[in-house]
Amino acid sequence: MAWTRRQSHLSILSFIIAVLLGPSLCSLPEKIPVAFFIFGDSTVDVGNNNYIKTVPENQAGFQPYGNNGVFGGPTGRFSDGRVIVDFIAQYAKLPNIPAFLEPSAEFVHGVNFASGGAGILPETHQNLAIDLRKQLENFEEVQRSLSEKLGDAQAEDLISNAVYFISMGSNDYMGGYVGNPLMQQSYSPQQYVGMVIGNLTNAIQGLYQKGARKFGFLGLSPLGCLPALRAVNPNPNNNEGGCFEDASALAQAHNGAISTVLRSLEHHLKGFKHANSNFYNWLADRMINPAKYGFKEGVVACCGTGPFKGTYSCGGTRTVKEFELCDSPKSHVWWDSFHPTEGIHEQFALELWGGAPQDVGPYNLEALFNNDLGTTIADIVDKDVDATI
């Protein structure tokens, strides 16, 4: 029948076209997944600290962490379930990104180097966490192993196309400074912020020199409003609704300084693209108006002891053994004395992924992952054809 003949002619024709053009055109609509590398502290640790020698304060691999059951139990995440990078991986259509220290972890979709308690400065919780410098050394190891596995050219492509997410700094200001009289004697708050920012800038430039181009940053939250800091606030009736003012001021100074640095790097480093977020007011708003965002309790943690459940005892393995657990973590902004619930992590992730320029910029993570960076379709097709030829 003519009908079938025409159809088979068409399919032969399209087959020939497909063979002639090679896989490039056929695979155009299918996006190659972009790898995801994560550096940071307990905000994004997915289990590295299960494998290091440290104190229980820097670990979360025990009940009731992970008690919403998403992963079937505790994993080392400092949350009732997932953390921000789990959601981002999901939006980017990647599998869960493994912890670097997890035995037999696969590196081709990226790796998570984050470590609870870690600081940008090596002095912060020294020897009790994997500091930023050591996390960068671990990245070099991954880079070498990718080159062996994929060959230099493909490994370089993966590295330059990947998104690098950094969530760090809180520990430098809390344990590293506000809780460390020696540091306060040696450095003024301004000098100290300058040192932290200097080291973070070096780390970003170091990654850039190793081939990284696309960066995402989670800004610091109002640190003085964490339940643990409210509980030790020396001037609880001052202002800011009982928050520990000095700690919050450091976070704000840090956020201001890093935005300036990132804008300047965007001009000075060719191809450097970033998504920065200022979640300081964003999180403060959720503490003040929890109901507006689907929560009931914005100030008191779900798991812990004492005022605001600010005594860091969740799980009963730390210094204080008694702790209480709320019935519904979903209705809380804070999971334990220092860490938000999965619900907040998800809202963080949604905002970073697709947020408007006033919350995240100059790019959001969706643009970084999808290479939606102002390149034209023609650039992409040219590049694809070049690569196949």
| Beta-strand pair 273-277/360-362 | antiparallel
* Closer of 120 and 142 to ligand NAG (Cβ): 120
Nearer to ligand NAG, 122 or 362 (CB): 122
| Residues near ligand NAG, by CB under 6 A | 121-123, 195, 198-199, 202
Catalytic residue status for 42 = yes
CA distance 248 to 243: 8
* Residues linked to residue 112 through DSSP beta bridges, in sequence order: 38, 99
> Active-site residue among 42, 79, 115, 170?
42
Distance CA(196)–CA(199), nearest Å, equals 5
**Is the backbone peptide bond immediately before 64 cis, with ω within 30 degrees of 0?**
yes
Question: Dihedrals φ, ψ of 40, to 5°?
Answer: 160, -160
Q: Are 105 and 98 in contact (CB under 8 A)?
A: yes
Q: Say how far apart CA 363 and CA 274 lie, in whole Å.
A: 6
Q: In this complex, which beta carbon is closest to ligand NAG, that of residue 46 or of residue 121?
A: 121
Of 80, 336, 337, 345, the active-site residue reads 336
Phi then psi dihedrals of residue 180, to 5 deg: -135, 90
CA–CA distance, 87 with 63 (Å, rounded to integer) = 22
Active-site residue, selected from the candidate residues 254, 274, 339, 345 = 339
Q: Which is nearer to ligand NAG, 91 or 187 (CB)?
A: 187
**Residue 123 or residue 366: which is nearer to ligand NAG going by CB?**
123
Residue 248: active-site member: no
Residue closest to 122 by CA, chosen among 134, 114, 113, 110 = 134
Examine the residue annotation and report whether 277 is marked as an active-site residue of this protein: no
Q: How far is the CB of 198 from ligand NAG (least distance, A)?
A: 2
CA–CA distance, 215 with 161 (Å, rounded to integer): 11
Q: Which is nearer to ligand NAG, 60 or 121 (CB)?
A: 121
**3-class secondary structure, 143:** helix
Q: How far is the CB of 202 from ligand NAG (least distance, A)?
A: 6
**Which residue's Cβ lies closest to ligand NAG?**
198
Backbone phi, then psi, for 274, in 5-degree steps? -145, 155
Phi/psi zone of residue 93: left (φ > 0), alpha (ψ -120 to 50 degrees), beta?
Answer: left
Q: Which residues are catalytic?
A: 42, 336, 339
